[in-house]
Amino acid sequence: MLKASNIVKSFSGNEILRGISLEVERGELISIIGPSGCGKSTFLRCLNFLEHPDAGDVQVENVKLASHGAWRRADEAQAHRLRSHVGMVFQSFNLFPHRTVLENVMLAPMQVKGLEEGKAHKIACELLEKVGLSAVKGRYPDRLSGGQQQRAAIARALAMKPSVMLYDEPTSALDPELSEEVLSVMRALDAEGMTQLVVTHDMRFARAASDRVLFMEAGQIVESGDPDVIFANPREAGTRRFLRTLL
Amino acid sequence: MVRMKRVLLWAAGLMLWAGLLGGGSVAWADGAAATAGQPSVAGLHVPGARNEQDLPWASDGEANVPYVFHDPAHEGRMTGFEYDLMQALAPRLGRQGRFVQNGWDGLIPGLGRDLYALVIDGIEMTPEHKEAVLFSRPYYVTVDRIVLRKSETGLESVAALKGHVVGTIKSTAAERLLLDHDPANVRSYDEETNLFSDLKNGRLDAILIDEPIALYYCSDDLKLVGLPIGRVAYGIAFAKDNPGLRDAVDAALGALMSDGTLHQILARWNLWTPQMADYTGDHSVSSTQPTAWTGYRQTMERMSGSGLQAMVQRYSSFLPLIARGALMTLAVSALAMVLAVAFGLVLALARAYGLAPLRWVAGVYVEVVRGTPLLIQVLFIFYGLPAFGVKLSPFAAGVLALGLNYAAYEAENYRAGLLSVPRGQMEAAIALNMTHRQALRLVIVPQAFRTVVPVMTNDFIALLKDSSLVSVITLTELSQTYIRLSSTYYDYIGTGLLVALAYLLVGLPFVRLARMAEKRMGRVVSKGHH
């Protein structure tokens, strides 16, 4: 349902992604791990064209967007179609601080999809219920704990009914207990069959919850496979080196 | 003449005038069409006239005693010997005179803008002035006089003044005479009030000035001494290309002189001079009593007294004027502020997110507007733009000038606000599939606005004060009211306090409003507190 082919991206002459390809099955939970600067966040951001890749193409559901240097108006429209299938959650939450939690969740469905307020409200309440924030939905984001904010951000992304969710280090800014609140939401989504890609440093989560783990190094996917196999018995030297440093 | 403040302005007026003739013949065509439709008595072209009976004439009625000034006995009513002259002259043209207030600096440029048909304000008929305007025949001929402190003796001629510090008004015959004589000791003033108070407090040893001013500003502690000096002639000024109206006025003046009307008016003001007798050939002795002169002296004695009753009477007579000035200040500032906030945002967005050419234009606009004086911008918009066919009312020009100026500052203010919104906000909005425009409108700008409001509060207080600059384009707001009242009554302290109070009262709602807005947006942060 998501297919990325040969994604290349450089920042001021530094090649950050060196031709990455990936195919994701519906319902999969994939963790992307690797040392800092290996390009895993950039790769994730290329999947919804938050970062425009220099080359390669991305297909989500039936929407395919190829990169060919210059960005054109037609590409913007196609990116818009593509993003309608993709939700994203950030390390720093990026909730809109001038709106309540409920408004954060209702905003895009109403403005982007043109949903009427009553309907958007109903969806938002259901989602906030699901991530355990019903009690605080009237609050402004800075009155929530980090874990609550991240769960609100997940609800906000889900409100657009994406078919795949991208998480860019969702728990890196959180204490372990607060992380657990977020990870359990992600596990619950997995159980419902949501397709999820997670860039993470949380190896326990990657190992326990993922269907598949990708290990990235220097702009390439070095190794991928069943988490138990990768963590217990990594094939590549780079993977072994990386996992050893974590212990 | 009396108050030749800035010769430069004459030059500017001349240039604008030339520009108008070159590019903007439309204005004249309008006037011509209006008169062609229904020819007036004399078939005159009367710029600025509202109808066939209207004769709009301009003067600077602020502290311009005894020429044209606000009657201290009835604030809001004009008086003065020139005022009386115009009241008598207009009917001779089959019209009714309508006084138009304009600051001294704007009088001549206003002729070029067709705001009024003529200017009468003690303008000396010097060769330089003749370059800029068309003059009528002299309507008043007078002399210069020396004024001293009562205790002073001996300085009774120009020769005797040598080595002493002498004050006068800029660009007058008296100034030229003093400069020829003893240039090192001449002090030139913009207006009379400061000139006379400096003589009283000892900064000056003597004053050499037009006799009408000497008479009317000479208080009990001063005296007029010596013989009349020189000859000064005042003329009515017209636009260069309107000799028709000038000739008609000349004829009317001639009639006023030969039938004794002018003699009567001047006698009432105690201003009939031997020079006038020689000039008009009217050597009769008028039976007219100097009622205007004595009335003015009495009123001033009563009003400028320091007794409680005089003060109460004085200040309560100021209140309606101050209220009117405050209202004008408030109206101009509030509208300018709305314009600045709206246009400033457009500029900031263009600069931050526009395409390259738009970004460039907005950038240049901000730099140019912030880099040039507001006064110049105000004058340019009011007097300069008509050359391009854009004629704005003083009020519209004032609002526009202030609004466009402050928009540049607000643009920079917004820009800082926009930059202060974390990048992640835009990314989150894009990831939620908003368009760039939606992201700006719904996410970025509201947050930027919040950080911008406190700075805006300060800017609006500044704007309120800068609004005093619109007085140069004939708007009588608070500062102008202060200048007028304080210099009429020599009362800078009491009037100053009243006007300062008015500024504070006008400013407070702004501050309150801004605080409310701040709070409303700040609520974003504080709401949700347990």
Please report, in tens digits, the pLDDT of each residue of chain A (247 residues total).
999 999 999 998 899 999 999 999 999 999 999 999 899 999 999 999 999 999 999 999 999 998 876 777 778 889 999 999 999 999 999 999 999 999 999 999 999 999 999 999 999 999 999 999 999 999 999 999 999 999 999 999 999 999 999 999 999 999 988 999 999 999 999 999 999 999 999 999 999 999 999 999 999 999 999 999 999 999 999 999 999 887 6
Task: Measure the CA dihedral B506/B507/B509/B514, to 10°.
Answer: 160
A161 → chain B, closest CA residue: B432
A141 → chain B, closest CA residue: B525
Residue A181 lies in a domain: no
Q: Tell whether A206 is within 8 A of chain B (Cβ).
A: no
Q: Quick one: how far is CA B47 from the chain centroid?
A: 20
Q: Tell whether A224 is within 8 A of chain B (Cβ).
A: no
- At residue B529, the pLDDT reads 34
Distance from CA of B355 to the nearest CA of A (A): 14
Residue A122 lies in a domain: no
Token pair recorded at residue A155: 């609800």
A78-125 pLDDT tens trace? 999 999 999 999 999 999 999 999 999 999 999 999 999 999 999 999
A92 → chain B, closest CA residue: B424
Q: Tell whether B355 is within 8 A of chain A (Cβ).
A: no
Residue A127 lies in a domain: no
Q: Own/partner pairs for A206-210, CB < 8 Å, 24+ apart?
A: A206/A31, A206/A33, A206/A231, A207/A231, A209/A29, A209/A31, A209/A183, A210/A29, A210/A30, A210/A31
- At residue B22, the pLDDT reads 37
Distance from CA of B420 to the nearest CA of A (A): 13
Q: Tell me which amino acid residue B400 is.
A: L
Domains of chain B: 7-136+239-302 (3.40.190.10), 141-233 (3.40.190.10), 311-521 (1.10.3720.10)
CB B186 within 8 A of CB B171: no
B 500-519 → A contacts, CB under 8 A: none
CB contact under 8 A, B433 and A92: no
Strand A212-217 with A29-33, pairing: parallel
User: Domain total for chain A?
Assistant: 1
String of b and e for B192-227 (b: at least 16 CB within 10 Å)? bbebbbbbeeeebbbbbbbbbbbbbbbbeebeebbe
CB contact under 8 A, B427 and A90: yes
| Nearest-CB residue to A83 (from B433, B438, B443) | B433
Closest among B346, B466, B348 to B412, alpha carbons compared = B348
CB contact under 8 A, A140 and B435: no
Closest among B362, B330, B335 to B346, alpha carbons compared = B362
Q: Tell whether A87 is within 8 A of chain B (Cβ).
A: yes
Residue A91 lies in a domain: no
Q: Best interface-test mutation with A: which of B355, B427, B433, B450 has the largest number of A CBs within 10 A?
A: B433
Distance from CA of A110 to the nearest CA of B (A): 11
CB A53 within 8 A of CB A8: yes
B497's CB contacts (< 8 A; 6+ apart) are: none
Phi, psi dihedrals of residue A59, rounded to the nearest 5°? -125, 125
A137 → chain B, closest CA residue: B528
B425 → chain A, closest CA residue: A94
Distance from CA of B117 to the nearest CA of A (A): 58
B71's CB contacts (< 8 A; 6+ apart) are: B77, B78, B79
| Nearest-CB residue to A112 (from B434, B443, B521) | B434
Q: How many CB atoms sit inside 10 A of residue A51's CB?
A: 19
CB contacts < 8 A, A to B, total: 72
B152's CB contacts (< 8 A; 6+ apart) are: B205, B206
- At residue B307, the pLDDT reads 73
Q: Best interface-test mutation with B: which of A76, A98, A104, A144 has the largest number of B CBs within 10 A?
A: A98
> For the residues of chain A, what is the DSSP string, one character each?
-EEEEEEEEEETTEEEEEEEEEEE-TT-EEEEE--TTSSHHHHHHHHTTSS--SEEEEEETTEEEEEESS--HHHHHHHHHHHTTEEEE-TT----TTS-HHHHHHHHHHHTS---HHHHHHHHHHHHHHTT-GGGTTS-GGGS-HHHHHHHHHHHHHTT--SEEEEESTTTTS-HHHHHHHHHHHHHHHHHT-EEEEE-S-HHHHHHH-SEEEEEETTEEEEEE-HHHHHHS--SHHHHHHHHHH-
CB contact under 8 A, B447 and A98: yes
What is the interface pTM, i.e. ipTM, of the complex?
0.95
Residue A98 with chain B: CB contacts under 8 Å? 446-447, 450, 521, 524
Tracing tokens 């429209």 back to the chain, one arrives at: A77
- At residue B44, the pLDDT reads 83
For chain B, what's the residue count? 530
Distance from CA of B428 to the nearest CA of A (A): 6
- At residue B145, the pLDDT reads 94
CB contact under 8 A, A157 and B524: no
Residue B425 with chain A: CB contacts under 8 Å? 94, 96
Residue A139 with chain B: CB contacts under 8 Å? 527-528
Residue B446 with chain A: CB contacts under 8 Å? 98
Residue A138 lies in a domain: no
Domain that residue A228 falls in: 1-85+170-176+201-247
Strand partners for A198: A31, A167
**Helix, strand and coil percent figures for chain B, each rounded to 5:** 60, 10, 25
Residue A213 lies in a domain: yes
Q: Best interface-test mutation with A: which of B430, B432, B444, B447 has the largest number of A CBs within 10 A?
A: B432
**Whole-angstrom distance, CA of residue A217 vs CA of residue A223:** 9
Q: Tell whether A161 is within 8 A of chain B (Cβ).
A: no
| Nearest-CB residue to A140 (from B422, B435, B524) | B524
CATH, residue A15: 3.40.50.300
**Whole-angstrom distance, CA of residue A209 vs CA of residue B344:** 52
Distance from CA of A205 to the nearest CA of B (A): 25
Q: Tell whether B438 is within 8 A of chain A (Cβ).
A: yes
CB contact under 8 A, A98 and B521: yes
Task: Output the CA torsion sign for A34, A36, A42, A48.
Answer: positive
Work out the burial of residue A191: count CB atoms within 10 Å of its CB; fewer than 13 is exposed, 13-18 middle, 19 or more buried. Answer: exposed
Residue A47 lies in a domain: yes
Q: Best interface-test mutation with B: which of A112, A133, A149 has the largest number of B CBs within 10 A?
A: A112
Residue A126 lies in a domain: no
B 411-430 → A contacts, CB under 8 A: 422, 424-425, 427-430
Tracing tokens 């004459």 back to the chain, one arrives at: B10
**What string of pLDDT tens digits covers the 530 residues of chain B?**
333 334 334 444 444 444 443 333 333 333 333 333 333 445 788 988 888 899 999 998 876 889 998 888 776 789 999 999 999 999 999 999 999 988 887 888 888 888 899 999 999 988 888 888 999 999 999 999 999 999 988 899 989 999 999 999 887 889 989 999 888 899 988 878 888 888 988 889 999 999 999 999 888 889 999 889 988 999 999 999 899 999 999 999 999 999 999 999 999 999 998 999 999 999 988 888 999 999 988 888 777 666 777 778 778 878 888 888 899 999 999 999 999 999 999 999 999 888 889 999 999 999 999 999 999 999 899 888 888 888 888 899 999 999 999 999 999 999 999 999 999 999 999 999 999 999 999 999 999 988 888 788 888 888 988 998 888 777 778 888 888 777 777 777 888 898 999 998 888 877 787 777 767 665 544 333 33
